[in-house]
Amino acid sequence: MSEAFVFLGPTLPVADARAELDAVYLPPVSAGDMFRLWLRRPKAVGIVDGYFEHVPSVWHKEIMWIMARGVHVFGSAALGALRAAELDAFGMRGVGRVYQAVKDGILERDDEVAVAWEGGAGACRTLSDAMVSVRATLEAAHREKIISDATREILAAAGAALFYRDRTWPALLEAGKAAGGDPAGLGALRRWLPSGRIDQQADDAVAMLRQMRDFLADKPDPLRVPWTLANTTRWLAAKDHADRDGAGRAPSVGGHDG
């Protein structure tokens, strides 16, 4: 029986993830999933992807609740990076450039990590590009002198202005053109993208899985936290809702719309 569980969706194919870490891969995390996962007594949990728009997001307190029971929790890439930056002071382990940028205050908007996607049961297809990966790609293109500093800034501003579901490279290049980006530079970027684009979220997810693999190889003791979680009325109601909503079962593979 696996000791590791990972909430994963569009960021990385499950087959690629399994090549890095032998774990139980679950769909993107939502409210109550961490609480119900305790039924399986995990030793370590990784959060990459999570629901946030039309499905309630995973609660901060349920992550703390499961950590208080000795479970090591890692986060990276997408919603996992946001929660790790918010909860690393309580013992959650953040991994990757996205997590670090959020922690350092360089990235402040949640939509930087959001993407539209479809599919389920371990076979997700992204329909838009995460702004964190757009930024990483623009930086790489600038370093390789594909685009000028001015064009990079125009495209970064145009990308940030797009709604996350509409944020694709074709839309971004059109927005950059409308904003006065250099046509020659935009054309060079379009030709360079198939081989040069960077998927920062996928890179961060792989880094987290490798860190979890190395961590578990050392057979760590259960996590010990120096704080106590208060059983507030709201938290007790949330746990009761999670119990009723899950009908006593732990999360299973599936999920749709991110």
Q: What is the pLDDT of residues 31-70, one digit of tens each?
A: 999 999 999 999 999 999 998 877 889 999 999 999 999 9
20 in Cβ contact with 213 (< 8 Å): yes
> What percent of the chain has pLDDT above 70?
92
249, pLDDT greater than 50: no
pTM of this prediction? 0.90
168, pLDDT greater than 70: yes
Give a three-class secondary structure readout of the chain.
Answer: CCCEEEECCCCCCHHHHHHHCCCEEECCECCCHHHHHHHHCCCEEEECCECCCCCCCCCHHHHHHHHHCCCEEEEECCHHHHHHHHHHHHCCEEECHHHHHHHCCCCCCHHHCCCCEEEECCEEEECCCCHHHHHHHHHHHHHCCCCCHHHHHHHHHHHHHCCHHHCCHHHHHHHHHHCCCCHHHHHHHHHHHHHHCCCHHHHHHHHHHHHHHHHHHCCCCCCCCCCCCCCCHHHHHHHHHHHHHHCCCCCCCCCCCC
Q: Are residues 206 and 91 in the same domain?
A: yes
Q: Are residues 93 and 140 in the same domain?
A: no
Range of the domain at 157: 128-198
The answer for residues whose C-beta is within 8 angstroms of residue 216's C-beta and 6 or more apart is 3, 4, 43, 44
Residue of 73, 78, 129 lying closest to 101 (CA atoms) = 78
Query: What pLDDT is attached to residue 239?
Result: 73
**φ, ψ at 257 (rounded to 5°):** 75, 115
Q: Are residues 188 and 207 in the same domain?
A: no
Query: What pLDDT is attached to residue 252?
Result: 32
Query: What pLDDT is attached to residue 2?
Result: 75
Domains contained in the chain, number: 2
Query: What pLDDT is attached to residue 126?
Result: 87
Other CB atoms within a 10 A radius of the CB of residue 166 amount to 12
Query: What pLDDT is attached to residue 120?
Result: 65
Per-residue pLDDT tens digits for 146-157: 999 999 999 999
Query: What pLDDT is attached to residue 125?
Result: 82
- Give the pLDDT mean for 177-204: 96
Q: Are residues 39 and 165 in the same domain?
A: no
Query: What pLDDT is attached to residue 100?
Result: 97
- Give the pLDDT mean for 236-251: 60
63 in Cβ contact with 83 (< 8 Å): yes
Question: Would residue 93 count as lying in a domain?
Answer: yes
CATH number of the domain enclosing 231: 3.40.50
Q: Are residues 160 and 213 in the same domain?
A: no
Question: Would residue 212 count as lying in a domain?
Answer: yes
Query: What pLDDT is attached to residue 1?
Result: 57
Query: What pLDDT is attached to residue 79?
Result: 96
Q: Are residues 194 and 213 in the same domain?
A: no
Query: What pLDDT is attached to residue 245?
Result: 67
Q: pLDDT band at residue 244, thresholds of 50, 70 and 90?
A: low
Query: What pLDDT is attached to residue 101?
Result: 96
